[in-house]
Amino acid sequence: DTQLTQSPSFLSASVGDRVTITCRASHGIRSYLAWYQQKPGKAPKPLIYAASTLQSGVPSRFSGSGSGTEFTLTISSLQPEDFATYYCQQLNNYPYTFGQGTKLEIK
Amino acid sequence: QVQLQESGPGLVKPSGTLSLTCAVSGGSISSSSWWSWVRQPPGKGLECIGEIYDSGSTNYNPSLKSRVTISVDKSKNQFSLRLSSVTAADTAVYYCARYQHQLYDSWGQGTLVTVSS
């Protein structure tokens, strides 16, 4: 299985901050990476696919980049509704594994 | 916009079989998509269980393959999960989801299944 490691696991930030979450793959996955946002008691919400393509309806303050083994999710200006847990997922080879998650909390 | 809804028992006894169904509405299950099951133990991360195409082709997570069966019922526009020989480690929220264009783009709300006697 392809292992994904997210950093940091916890992130404390303020409204208006710019934050970046990193996802590293144990081996190359081309651009087959997606990002999801999950709030407590809810299903994951898709944000980005193919490493950098914004899913329909997702605000433009979210962006993704990377290919191969290193990827980033950036939120340019945090809004109150962005405080949640974020997961990356590789879809290069089955089983499609997820990172362990990054919990974004209000400072 | 396709919608997915999981259903099934919320409590399963150890060594028993977990059975869940995902009803698809707002679109056809025969739509060139993979239909998937994902689970999340309480307070933990996400794990893909398996997926099925409308043709009946399947992929299973090797860690669960010996215990998992996923099937599709086109006449009812739904797909199902069976997980046998369950233990407490199988306690989780189980989600069904649609895989399309390199993304799980639609998810059910999730259903908590507890394995306990």
- Per-residue pLDDT reduced to its tens digit, A73-101: 999 999 999 999 999 999 999 999 999 99
Q: Does B54 touch chain A (CB under 8 A)?
A: no
Q: Greatest CA separation found in chain A?
A: 37
Phi, psi dihedrals of residue B50, rounded to the nearest 5°: 175, 175
Average pLDDT, chain A: 97
For residues A41 and A56, give the distance between their C-alpha atoms in angstroms, rounded to a whole number.
23
B29 neighbors B74 (Cβ within 8 angstroms): yes
* Cβ-nearest to B107 among A44, A55, A95: A44
The answer to whether residue A16 neighbours chain B at the CB level (below 8 Å) is: no
Q: Residue A52 in contact with residue A64, Cβ under 8 Å?
A: yes
Please write the tens of the pLDDT for every residue from B11-45.
Answer: 999 999 999 999 999 999 998 899 999 999 999 99
Q: Tell me the pLDDT tens digit for each residue of B51-83.
A: 999 888 999 999 999 999 999 999 999 999 999
Q: Do B102 and A36 touch (CB under 8 A)?
A: no
Tens of pLDDT, residue by residue over A11-40, are 999 999 999 999 999 999 999 999 999 999
CA dist., res. B63 & res. A82, Å (int): 33
Chain B interface includes A101 (CB < 8 A): yes
* Confidence check: pLDDT of B103 > 90: yes
Minimal Cα–Cα distance from A76 to chain B, Å?
Answer: 23
Which positions in chain B touch A92 (Cβ < 8 Å)? none
